[in-house]
Each structure stands twice: as structure tokens, then as C-alpha cells.
Amino acid sequence: MLRAFGAAALVGATILVAGCGGSSSSGESESQTAAGISTAPPPTPTACETKGGTLKILSAGDVDHIDPGQGYYSFTYEITRPTQRALLSAKPGTVELQPDLAAGMPQVSKDGKTVTVKIRQGVHFSPPVNREVTSADVKYAIERGFATSVANGYAAAYFGVIQGAPKTAPQFPEPISGIETPDPSTLVFHLTQPEAVFVTALSMPLTAPVPEDYAKQYDDQTLSTYGLHQVASGPYMIKSNAAGSINGVGYKPNRLIDLVRNPNWDSSTDYRLACADEVRFEEGFQDPTVVAKTILSGSADANGDIPPPPAELRSILSSSTESKELFFTPTGGARYIALNTTEPPFDNANARKAVAYVLDRNALRLTRGGAVDGTIATHFIDPSFGDKGFEQAGGTGFNPFPSPDFSGDVTKAKELMKAAGYADGMYTGPQVTVVADNVPPGSDTAKVVAADLAKIGIKSRIISVTHATMYTKYCNVPKNEPNICPNVGWLPDFHEPQAILDVPFNGKNIIPSNNSNWPLLNDPAINAAMDRAEKTLDPSKRYEQWGKIDQQVTETASAIPWLWEDYPTLFSSRVVPALMVDNEGAPDVDFMSVR
């Protein structure tokens, strides 16, 4: 999920376990926390313990968008994965990709500019469409993502490299010349240039088929309503009426998403087990303690987007029985403090490095729950990437701004402030602006930052706003950008280091609005290195390059990473657990079964 940390911060309870050491590139993490808690996922079931029954997942909020072509949020993927078959998807319990709707892995031409995908036969849409899925349905699915009526958030970023892809978004879906469908089971993508992550991006939900003959009537509206009339290609579908509408039937916004079996699903075409007859995502649970206790009582089966709070986690971990139902998964992303590199005082590299030294990262981690929260980050590529860039960046051994126990080094910070031109090592300029969340834990993080900055004389003015406002009105808008955005972070869409580093740190990605390069870092050497790495198709060379880029970015101190976050998922004892390791450890209802 190449996106910023979001909803979990609103819930205020993303509490995690520190994963020390690396994990294998397969994603089958075997790391342990300092407390000896395993972050390994449960073994993925290979058969249903029982067939039938109802799974109940509790969540605080709703999907970001119910349209699978628009959804861009980890909780949304908990629903799209069992209902929509993308071309590729992660092998159960890993982050490695495998064919899903595709019959095999995509074939890439030698020049890297043509990608051919064969579509699996025998996959059918759910009612009321019912017919077999063809390559044209995938072509249309991608084309509609570019239209403003659908407004997919990543279509241009990953699929803009396709020849003929719109440079300016059309209002309604239009054909893209670079996607060919020579026959109903073949898709050919013609790219304008080699793109290292294009094949990986075929795992995004945008590549799940959408039948144009049915969806066009909904897509050709100002805001597409196809999401409310969607058809499924996976083992489950959102419960709908005879006309295909899910609104008020299986989808009640902020209340319920009810998955039932897709009668047209053929298990022989799919790797999913789909054990349960029904999956109910019950929404609106705002208290994480109530959610955790409800799951432990067996009245619900797993947490959807609302993790157990710190106190509850500690209680569960202290129980030999309950702790067996709790699993921690690396999110793959890092939380960091972004410093605006275009304005004083942080246009000065030494001033930024002083901040990197003075920050007490332990105190920062405490704002989100303390030692069970995750590993203190020293650079950006998460340990779960293993040899896909993490090791190449130096692993846990790479830390350009060390301090005893990560508690900050004021002496070193003052030396750097002197080097930045402040005579006695104390800042003397005007106060700096900090735009932060108005609720914990984000607001607490901002307070810790302000307290640490005061140690080197920097006075802060904290502007407290909602999480969404922080992004859309301040940190994402360069002209409104404050000196410090302390509540930002980035989660990868997939396990490619490019998905961690490119958007937030490549100068070419600085845009006037919706900007995610929060430090406004525009370093020609780093930009050039990223552009080279993006075109490097050889994986080992590519990961080597991104490892070095990670070091370069970290050393600029334009953004100071402080947490590699893991996500806790709690299951009731009445179900066989299964996790989407590639999706922050979300419950994988395709493989869960009632005991």
C-alpha cells in the first residue's frame, strides 16, 4: 500500500511489537522482539478445518472507497482480496507474488517495454453479469482507473508508463492504445520505457476485471456508482439484490460489509480456500479495548482496522493461551519526522542533522505504546524487506545519527548547530511551525519533538488539526508546508524498495498539491540514482542501488525515521487464523475457517 499512515493514527492505537533482525525475502518473518515474542505469521492453512459458518471481523471505520478500482487502503483490501481477482496476488502468508487471475507470471520482453499476460480461463463474474472473464475486462478495469469519474489514486503512478495512457485524466473511461487484447485470454502491455515495478504493480486491485458492457453505465456518471453495483470475480461477493445493487443490502456505509459466496466461483481456478459461507465486516467499533475483549470472548473473530491498545496487548501477551491468538506483522513502512528543506532553519543540512541527533526516539516510540510498538528505525527500508534492499542499506547496523539507547545526543546536536552558524550551539531564529494531529498518539509525538527541539533552542508553534487536514491542507501542499510535519510516514504498495523511497524522496515527485515528498527533498544526485534504479530490471542490481539510495536519503536528515512499525492482529480461538502478510497482517478471510 503505497500510501501514508492514516486510519490507524485516527484510532490512536497502533501498537506493535519490536522485530529485531531481518526476515527472509519470502516474507516468512522469523524475527523476535526483545521480549521474545515471535512476529512470525501463523502457518497458512492448506485445507479448511470446517466448511461453512460465518466469520465476523470488527472495524472502526469503513473502506475508503467501495469501488475496487478506487480503493487504496489496507482495510479496503481485506474486502477486495476475497471478492476481486487481480492479475497477481501475494502467496498466502508471504509477500511474494503469484498468478491470480493471470494463468502464469507475466512475460517481459528483453527491452523491458512489452509485458504479456495470459488470463486464466473458467473465471466467471458474479450475478447479474455471470459471463466468463476475458482480457478485455482487465483492459477496461485499468482504463477506467484514469477517468475522473473513478479517480484511482495510483493509476497514473504505476500504469502511466503504458503507451497512450492519458496525460490529462478524461472525465469518463477512454481506451488506452498501449493495452492490447489479441484474444480473450491474452493481454499485452506496451510501455514507453522499461519500468522495474510494472509487473509487481499488476498485483494492485485496479487490475481486477470490470465488465465494460455492465459497468459503463455507472462509470459514465460524474462520480461512478459502479462500486455500489460491483460484480465479483473471487470466491465471495458483496451481498446484492437482483439488480446487482449492494447499497443497503450487503453494503451499509460505516455499518456493515457482508460477503456471501459468489455462486459462479470455480474453486479449481483459484488458490483460495474460501471456507466460510459468509464474512461480516461489522463497522463502527470505536473503542479498541471493547473490540479486543469481544474477539477474545469469541463473539467476533478478528480485528479489521482497529488494533488492540497497549494495555490490552500487554495483558494478552502475559496470558499463555490468549497470546497464541495474537500475531504481529511488519507494515513494511516507516514513521518519520519530515523537515522542510526549502526554508530556514532546515535548509541547512547541519541544522537538520542536529535535529536527527537530538530526537529521543525512545520517547517518540513511547507515544505509540512503548517497547511493544515496533523497532526503532534508523533508515527507511523496513527489516521485512530483507535482501530486497534492507540488508543492502546496512540492515540494523546502519545508523548515521547514533545516540545511547536512541535517547538523543544533545552534545553532538549542539556541535552541529554551531556548524550551522549558531554560535553557542543554540538556535536563535524565529520559532518553527509544526503541523500535527490534534489527537493522540500523533499530538503526543509532536509534543516530544517540540520538547527535544527546545534542547537546542528551537521554539515550536504547534498547529493541531485533524489527520486528514494535516495532509490535505498543510503537509501535502508545498506552499502551506510548515517547517516540520511530525506525523507522517509511508507504507509500500508492495515489497519493492522503490515503493518506499521514490514518491516520498524523489525531487521529480514534488507537486503543488497532494505532494508526498514532505521534506521537499530535491537532491540531483539522489534523483538521478532513483531514475537509474527505476529502470534496472535485474533484481539484485536494483536492490543494491536502492539500498545505497536509502543511505543517501537518510544521511540528508531531511526526514528522520523513528519507527519500523508492526501491526497486531488478534483472532478468536474459534477460528483458524490466517494473515495477509503483504497487507499489514490483515485477517485473510480466504483462508480462515471456523474450528
Partner 1 sequence: MSVHVETEASRRPSPGGPPGGLAAAQRALAGVLGSSMLRYVVRRILWGIVLLFVVSGLTFLIFYAFPAADPAALRAGRQATPQLIEQIRHSLGLDKPVYDQYWLYMKGLVLHFDLGYSYENNVSVTSQILSRLPATIALTAGAFVVWMLVGIPVGILSAIKRRSVVDRTTMGASLLAISAPVYWLGLIALLLFSQDIGELHFLPGAGSYTPLTSDPTQWFFSLLMPWFVLAAAFAAFYARMVRGNLIDVLGEDYIRTARAKGLSERRVILRHGLRAALTPVVTMAGLDLGVLLGGAILTETVFNIPGVGRYAYDSIINSDLPAIQGTVLFGAFFIIVANIVVDVLYAFLDPRVRY
Q: Which residues bind partner 1 (CB under 8 A)?
A: 2-4, 10, 58, 61-62, 64-66, 70, 72, 148-149, 151-154, 156-157, 168-169, 171, 222-225, 227-228, 247-248, 252-255, 282, 284-287, 289-290, 293-294, 296-299, 465-466, 468-469, 471-474, 476, 503, 511-514, 516
Name which of 293 and 412 has its Cβ closer to partner 1. 293
What nine digits make up the cell of 44? 497458512
What nine digits make up the cell of 153? 489514486
Measured in whole angstroms, how far is the alpha carbon of residue 51 from the centre of its chain? 31
What nine digits make up the cell of 190? 506496451
Ranges of H-type helices in 349-429: 349-358, 361-366, 410-419
CB of 167 to partner 1, least distance (A): 8
Name which of 44 and 572 has its Cβ closer to partner 1. 572
Give yes or no for a contact between 150 and 71, defined as CB atoms under 8 angstroms apart. no
What nine digits make up the cell of 9? 493514527
CB of 512 to partner 1, least distance (A): 5
Name which of 39 and 240 has its Cβ closer to partner 1. 240
Q: d(Cα 592, Cα 574) in Å, to the nearest integer?
A: 10
Q: d(Cα 111, Cα 194) in Å, to the nearest integer?
A: 7
Q: d(Cα 301, Cα 304) in Å, to the nearest integer?
A: 10
Largest interatomic CA distance in the chain:
75
CB atoms under 10 Å from CB of 451, counted, come to 12
Q: d(Cα 343, Cα 490) in Å, to the nearest integer?
A: 23
Kind and range of the H or E element at 60?
Answer: none
CB atoms under 10 Å from CB of 112, counted, come to 17
Name which of 61 and 374 has its Cβ closer to partner 1. 61
CB of 252 to partner 1, least distance (A): 7
Give the residue from 69, 86, 67, 73 showing the smallest Cα distance to 10.
Answer: 73
Name which of 35 and 223 has its Cβ closer to partner 1. 223
Q: d(Cα 416, Cα 323) in Å, to the nearest integer?
A: 45
Query: In 3-state terms, the chain is what percent helix, strand and coil (to 5)?
Result: 30, 20, 50
Name which of 293 and 418 has its Cβ closer to partner 1. 293
Pairing mode of beta strands 559-570, 326-339: antiparallel
